[in-house]
Amino acid sequence: MTGAGIRVFSGTSNPDLTRGIAAALDLPLGAINVFRYAADAFVLQSTSYPANDHLMELLIIIDALRRASARRITAVIPYFGYARQDRKIKPREPISAKLVANLLTTAGAHRVVTLDLHAGQMWGFFDIPLDHLPCRMILGDYFRSLGLENLVVVSPDIGGVKRAREFAEYLQAPLAIIDKRRDRPNQVADVVHVIGKVYRRTAILVDDIIDTGGTVVMGAEALVRRGVREVYACCTHAILSPPAVPRVLRSAIRQLVVTDSIPVLPEKRTAKTIVLSVSGLLAEAIRRIHADQSVSELFTQSRVAQPAAERE
């Protein structure tokens, strides 16, 4: 029996049988190196605009990795889209954040890493491990580098008090709170009261997301009226939807400090914009997850070194 044009290669399940087949065909056994590699896969994708496209792309990549037998799939989502739809405010509204959590699990993700979720209750939306990384060290270290004195950290609304308190503790500064009301989403609210001592201080407004900019600009104006010397604003996720950029430019805000969890496009950058990188923080989290080490120790030990701030 001739085996012209045939090459026989053996897997590891039954090499003796393969050698017998090759002998029957009067062929040498093909040279092959067989090894096993169970990949620890990390997929980085922010579900920012266009959120639907980016989310679907992420789900498809996770599904492909699952079908390729990746040992573990971690979705690294610096900005978790739909996070503001975290509860029902009125009848017949979806809880989109919970839906997205379910989709990630169904697609095959084993773990999720994200930055500064909008609301704490979202921890309970996931049936898989969730690593929620705060950016207060990255933002706080930048403000420390400026050598600012007589600081006060300000939460622009009641809902952000916990976030602002942790930031204030990191900077060892007092806390103030702006009490405001908003009738509709993305509508500029009216200031009701500023709670805390702000007179003759340098204020840092802290938020997780800046979308249209109305909240921080309104807050900055309220603080100036109450005698604040300088106002800085910072956030993790710089959506900066229109008309955020001209609003900030015309405002009393001296600097707007953000991270690159969402790409900050050139048209959204001004002389007031400072962009800090979260790459070092996420890289260290990935390294720790791969090595089965504690991620929470990132925030109880030494700070993660960050690249220099980028000024445009």
Q: What is the pLDDT of residues 195-232, one digit of tens each?
A: 999 999 999 999 999 999 999 999 999 999 999 999 99
One domain, residues 24 and 156? no
**Poorest-confidence range of 87-96, 246-255, 301-310?**
301-310
One domain, residues 77 and 125? yes
One domain, residues 180 and 209? yes
User: For 64-107, what is each residue's pLDDT tens digit?
Assistant: 999 988 889 999 999 998 877 666 677 778 888 899 999 999 99
Q: Is 168 part of any domain?
A: yes
User: Order of strands, edge to edge, in the sheet holding 253-259?
Assistant: 190-195, 175-181, 151-155, 202-210, 230-238, 253-259, 273-276, 310-311
pLDDT at 236: 96
Give the residue numbers spanning the domain of 252: 136-277
Model-level pTM? 0.82
Distance CA 26, CA 33 (A): 22
Average pLDDT over every residue of 32-48: 78
pLDDT at 177: 96
pLDDT at 39: 84
Average pLDDT over every residue of 99-127: 88
pLDDT at 11: 65
Write the CATH number for 74: 3.40.50.2020
Q: Which of 98, 180, 268, 272 is catalytic?
A: 180
Q: What is the mean pLDDT of the chain?
A: 86
* Total domains in the fold of the chain: 3
Question: C-alpha angle with apex 161: 279 to 146, nearest 5 degrees?
Answer: 50
pLDDT greater than 60 at residue 35: no
Q: Is 282 part of any domain?
A: no
One domain, residues 22 and 121? no
**Three-state SS string across 48-80, please?**
CCCHHHHHHHHHHHHHHHHHCCCCEEEEEECCC
One domain, residues 189 and 142? yes
Q: Mark which of 103, 133, 163 sits at the end of a domain.
A: 133
Distance CA 171, CA 165 (A): 10
- Known catalytic residue at 162: no
One domain, residues 156 and 62? no
Distance CA 207, CA 229 (A): 20
Sign of CA dihedral 204, 252, 178, 309: negative
User: For 169-178, what is each residue's pLDDT tens digit?
Assistant: 999 999 999 9
User: For 8-31, what is each residue's pLDDT tens digit?
Assistant: 766 666 777 777 777 877 878 777
One domain, residues 162 and 64? no
One domain, residues 208 and 150? yes
pLDDT at 32: 66
